[in-house]
Structure 1
Amino acid sequence: MTDLRHYDVIVKPVITEKSTLVSENNQVVFNVDKAASKPEIKAAVEALFGVKVTAVNTLVRKGKTKRFRNTLGKQQDVKKAVVTLAEGQTLDVTTGL
């Protein structure tokens, strides 16, 4: 396992239409470090936000190739974590830490 601190594991919360829809199912979506494992993500969310996590699902979105005028560029790869909270737990990601 890598040696990441809790603040290094979670990069930022994802605030999109789809992530607000899954929040109704007691789930929260975060962009996380590419080297972070599921147990590290679970420990970071529990330590930083003081909630009980039941499951962590991860996915890696590969960066797209974009063109701006005549210049080609590539977006970065992003690792996301969908964190399922225990029943009765809530987490408001719009407030800061």
Structure 2
Amino acid sequence: TKALKAKGQQLKGAQQLRKRKIRASPRFKRPDTYRPPRTPKYARRSLPRRNSLDAFKIMQYPLTTESSMKKIEEQNTLVFIVDKRSSKPLIKDAVKRLYDIQASKVNTLIRPDGLKKAYVKLSAEHDALDVANKIGII
């Protein structure tokens, strides 16, 4: 399926050639599924690990193509390239933290070159054109 192919590209990178898989055993192992990060009641280690996906790492850069400009003007939507491992809630929080805007919805896709693109639809009280000017897209 598309999702499994995208997951494989995310793990390996988009540059590798696809190899034919030979199934030598009759047993089929079910593929791993997404496991959300845990939220424990107390820390199991004295010094917690540094969060590798902070807001600055998640939001890599805004896209400035013609189609993304059209989205800004007509659909009140900003388009960003984000880290491949980031989820929609993480992207939503990162946008709020970095640009002080409330996102109503986030759509993501993984491009054929292996980068993840996020469409961030802003809530009605924020105008995408003003935010784009503030960021420096336009």
Q: Give TM-score, length-normalised by structure 2.
A: 0.56
Share of identical aligned residues, percent?
37
- Per-residue deviation, 1:92: 1.4
Deviations 1:48-68 (A, max 9, x none): 0001110000000122xxxxx
What one-letter code is carried by the residue in structure 2 that aligns with 1:42? K
Helix, strand or coil at the partner of 1:41: helix
Matched with 1:80 is 117
Q: Flag the structure with higher helix content.
A: 2
Q: Residue 42 of structure 1 aligns with which residue?
A: 92
C-alpha distance in 2 between matches for 1:15 and 1:49: 17
Gaps of 5+ in 2: 1-36, 38-50
Residues 55-74 of structure 1 aligned to structure 2 (within 5 Å): 55-63=105-113
Match of residue 51 from structure 1: 101
CA distance in 1, matches of 2:102, 2:86: 19
Number of residue pairs matched? Answer: 83
What is residue 19 of structure 1 aligned with on the other side? 68
Amino acid at match of 1:48: L
- Of Structure 1 and Structure 2, which has the larger fraction of its residues in strand? 1
Q: Which has the higher contact order (CA 8 A, sep 6+)?
A: 1
Deviation for aligned residue 1:44: 0.1
Unaligned 5+ segments in structure 1 are: 64-76
